[in-house]
């Protein structure tokens, strides 16, 4: 398979890239951080020399960067799997957060997935198959303290995912929403949370990779995951 993963230089995105590459698939990844992206690229190419792995720096907060990344992807081939993973978390409250928080988070958490999907869909439709994963969140399902604009954007992404699934049912293209709870990432480092209290990035990656292996007749519509001991 040919797999596109956004926000793939660390955390869940990097775990997904590692899992697909380990299984022998070709992957195309992006991130806005040049150093971390190419460091990840080098690690993956060293670990999995038999996989075709390529990367491009892209700030997906900007529509023109999303479209440029999509154009680059399509010069490599038509993707079989697209993982819209790029995202940003900013804690706060609606009444007190900076006025531009909602716009900033919408651009990366929602619009990047919307614009990348639209740019890749014509080729995927012509191919007659594919699978799109949208990285939502437990925050897409219920509000929680200090979720503010982050929660709003994740609710919106879940709406995008549901509508896309309905629209593409008869196209041969699957759509899956991924709703992980607390998962170890940079945002949790230094928090003091015990390892057994939080999920690992590989847990989420393994579920996505498994869902991508199903026959054309089956789709996992939603992947909802929480730490065994409950939400944090």
Tell me the C-alpha to C-alpha distance, in Å, between residue 177 and each of 123, 182, 192: 21, 16, 29
Write out the two tokens for 104. Answer: 């900033």
The model's pLDDT over 34-80, given as tens digits with 9 standing for 90+, comes to 999 999 999 999 999 999 999 999 999 999 999 999 999 999 999 99
Considering the domain delimited by 2-225, tell me its CATH architecture.
3-Layer(aba) Sandwich (3.40)
The model's pLDDT over 119-140, given as tens digits with 9 standing for 90+, comes to 999 999 999 999 999 999 999 9
CA-wise closest residue to 92 among 156, 142, 149, 136? 149
Give the three-state DSSP class for 178.
Answer: strand
Helices (H), the chain: 11-22, 34-47, 63-76, 101-106, 112-127, 148-168, 201-211
The CA distance from 59 to 183, in Å, is: 23
Task: With a cut of 80, say whether residue 147 has pLDDT above it.
Answer: yes
In order, the DSSP letters of 103-118 are: HHHHIIIIIHHHHHHH
Q: Give the pLDDT band of residue 194 (cuts 50, 70, 90).
A: confident
Decide if 105 contacts 153 (C-beta within 8 A): yes
Active-site hit among 48, 111, 114, 150: 150
Report phi then psi at 180, rounded to 5.
-85, 145
Residue 38 annotated as catalytic: no
Domain range annotation of the chain:
2-225
Q: Give the pLDDT band of residue 193 (cuts 50, 70, 90).
A: confident
Q: Tokens 């740019």 label which residue?
A: 119
């Amino acid at each position: 398979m040919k797999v596109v993963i956004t926000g793939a230089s660390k955390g869940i995105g990097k775990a997904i890239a590692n899992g697909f590459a380990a299984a022998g698939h070709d992957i195309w990844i992006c991130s806005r951080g040049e150093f971390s992206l190419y460091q990840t690229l080098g690690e993956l190419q060293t670990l999995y020399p038999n996989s075709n792995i390529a990367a491009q720096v892209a700030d997906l907060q900007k529509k023109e960067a999303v479209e440029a990344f999509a154009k680059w992807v399509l010069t490599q081939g038509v993707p079989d799997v697209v993982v819209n993973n790029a995202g940003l978390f900013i804690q706060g409250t609606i009444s007190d957060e900076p006025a531009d928080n909602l716009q900033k988070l919408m651009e990366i958490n929602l619009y990047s997935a919307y614009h990348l999907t639209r740019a890749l869909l014509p080729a995927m439709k012509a191919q007659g198959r594919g699978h799109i994963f949208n990285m939502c969140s437990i925050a897409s399902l219920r509000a929680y303290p200090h979720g503010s604009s982050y929660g709003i954007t994740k609710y919106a992404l879940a709406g995008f995912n549901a509508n896309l699934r309905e629209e593409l049912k008869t196209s041969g293209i699957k759509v899956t929403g991924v709703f992980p709870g607390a998962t170890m990432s940079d945002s949790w480092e230094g928090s003091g949370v015990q390892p057994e209290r939080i999920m690992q990035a590989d847990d989420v990656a393994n579920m996505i990779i498994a869902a991508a292996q199903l026959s054309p007749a089956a789709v996992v519509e939603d992947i909802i995951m929480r730490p065994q001991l409950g939400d944090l």
